[in-house]
Structure 1
């Protein structure tokens, strides 16, 4: 069977939503959870379009709220498939908020959602390969490969730290003297 390819532009997805008072937290800013839900929605739409099927979110990377979103602002989320594996896709999402009264536009978040295509049997299903149409597409694809390498390296390093801390916990306890914690061992 011949490999199916789709261009990045095929599944690029944009979702905009006006932020209403019901979306605000007690501080008057838009709930981060609501924004995450909208990001998940645009990631799903983008990934599902790319593979013409059902997808699930398996991880989210880079959730850092750079600026608060206010009631009355229009939030727009731009999503594109930056990388594909066998059954997974990395969807990059850029979030901006626009204040209609002032004309200000601010970048509030960039996140990366790993989505997996699922077949009718609920098992991972192969996704179409990606046609990179611009230098920006190529940069994003290469950056995704680097993110994957760094994530593996980070996990390996963290596993090593956990192992060594279990062995050296007595000598490491002294490092906690300047931290905001209290040890209460039995």
Structure 2
């Protein structure tokens, strides 16, 4: 077999195993979360989606006002972040593979993404207006990535500074 043929076969194997690994990751995560919801006696439907090389898990409710599910989000999404990490650990324990899954509850992340876009736009406008760096409030790694992407799309530069729970973004006039 030539190197080109070997490469093609290897590419086919990678393409076949990556989605099945992500599907397995989703199944393990869903099982873990279903058990957690059962223990807490919280009603919720779990949706699994694989896109862009990542597994997205959503916990949804048919009820308009589901306070128990909102409690799983916590203040500023802190409980949601912790639950996401626990779910990733459950996947690691079961599969031996580190997971980059994203957990959302009742659309919180989608709503927060819009909010983060607005925060990025306001910071860019302020930096342009004052000519000074703009430091944002601390946020999770996932949220910082969304803000970095939004700032770059608006043509400015951003960097993360600080440690641990105090890690935050600074937007500057340096062009992206």
Higher relative strand content: 1
Larger RCO: Structure 1 or Structure 2 (Cα < 8 Å, ≥ 6 residues apart)? 1
Question: Could you tell me the TM-score, scaled by structure 1's length?
Answer: 0.31
Greater helix content? 2
Give the TM-score normalised by structure 2: 0.32
Of structures 1 and 2, the larger Rg is shown by 1
